[in-house]
Structures are given as structure tokens and as C-alpha cells.
Amino acid sequence: MTRLVLNHETYDAVLREIVPGAQRFLWILTADIKDVFVEHEGGRFVPFLEVLAGKLRDGVEVRLVHAKEPGPRFRGDFDRFPEFLQSDAFDRLLCPRMHMKCVIADGRIAYVGSANLTGAGMGAKSEDRRNYEAGMVTDDPVMIRGLMDFLDDFYTGSLCITCKRRELCPNPLA
């Protein structure tokens, strides 16, 4: 089944459904990434990075790909969680050409849409302060397989070989 998600529905679909449901792996791709806060156990709001660190502790492999270096608040929160540096199950890649906004959990469910991993894009902001966003959530195995095949080509560096923007890339994969 494929369904449309709009505006705040993105928060519910991605940050309350897809991410928490990941049990084996979680792939997150975004152009922009900021220090997003999400509702967690007991109704308290925590940095999204705390949720990802918990996933790593639970044995979930996490790939985080983004297009530019995040700001100081994100980096400060990132440094608070040793799981990101100590876990072999975590990969963070920076690609200036990455403009996709996509979250895949376990190869069984995926979000593809316009929302970056920011408070205005998919975070817990009021309706009057958020971006207008549209996306799709699908569990269609053919669609997810095609998306994962493309991302595997990216992840293994196959796309770096012919990239004409290498001068902008801080760490080419190939």
C-alpha cells in the first residue's frame, strides 16, 4: 500500500512509525539536517540523535546521508552519544549532490518526499511554523527494492566514479 503524507503527517509517518519500527536497518537520506527534537517516551522531547543512538544500542544498523555539514547544535548533540563513534553499525556520509529525502526501515517500508530532517521539515514544530511538505509512504516491495538498489549504487561509490562535482565533495566514496 502506498499513501500520501502531507505536512505534519510526515512527522507521524516517519518519526512515529517508520523510525521506531526499524529492527534491522534504517537508512536516512536528507539534503539538510538540523538538531530535530521528537516526542519520546513519557511525552518528553529529545534530540532525534538520541533516538538514533538508541537504535544503535538495540543492534539496528543506521546509515545517515546528508548534503552539507550540520550546524553547531547538531554537532554538539552528536558528540553526546558515543554510539555514533563506537558502533560499527553506524555510517554517516556527506554528499553535496544528495538532495533526496528518504527513510527506509528494514527494506519493508519507506518514505520518499520533500521533507528534510529539520524541525521545519519534519520535526515537532507548530503548524504555523512548519514548511509545507508532501511525500509518500510505501510498503511496495518493488518500489522499495528499486530505491534500495539505487542507494546501494550510491553507497558503494559507483556514482562517484562519473560525478562531475568531485571538487565539492569532502570525501568521495570511490
Q: Is 45 within 8 Å of 173 (Cβ atoms)?
A: no
pLDDT score, position 114: 96
Within a domain: 173: no
pLDDT score, position 174: 67
**Confidence class of residue 96 from pLDDT cuts 50, 70 and 90?**
confident
pLDDT digit string, tens, across residues 123-167: 667 777 788 999 999 999 999 999 999 999 888 888 778 877 777
> Mind giving me the DSSP string for 28-88?
EEES-B---EEE-GGG-EEEHHHHHHHHHHTT-EEEEEESS---HHHHHHHHT-THHHH-T
Residue 153 to residues 54, 88, 149, 156, Cα–Cα distance (Å) = 28, 20, 6, 5
Within a domain: 127: yes
Within a domain: 34: yes
pLDDT digit string, tens, across residues 70-90: 888 888 889 999 999 999 999
**Total domains in the fold of the chain:** 1
Copy the grid coordinates of residue 55: 537504535
Within a domain: 154: yes
Residue 9 to residues 93, 116, 173, Cα–Cα distance (Å) = 27, 14, 34
- The residues that bridge with 65 in the sheet, in sequence order, are 29, 93
Within a domain: 44: yes
Q: Which domain holds residue 8?
A: 2-168
The residues, any chain, with a CB within 8 Å of residue 141's CB and separated by 6 or more, are 108
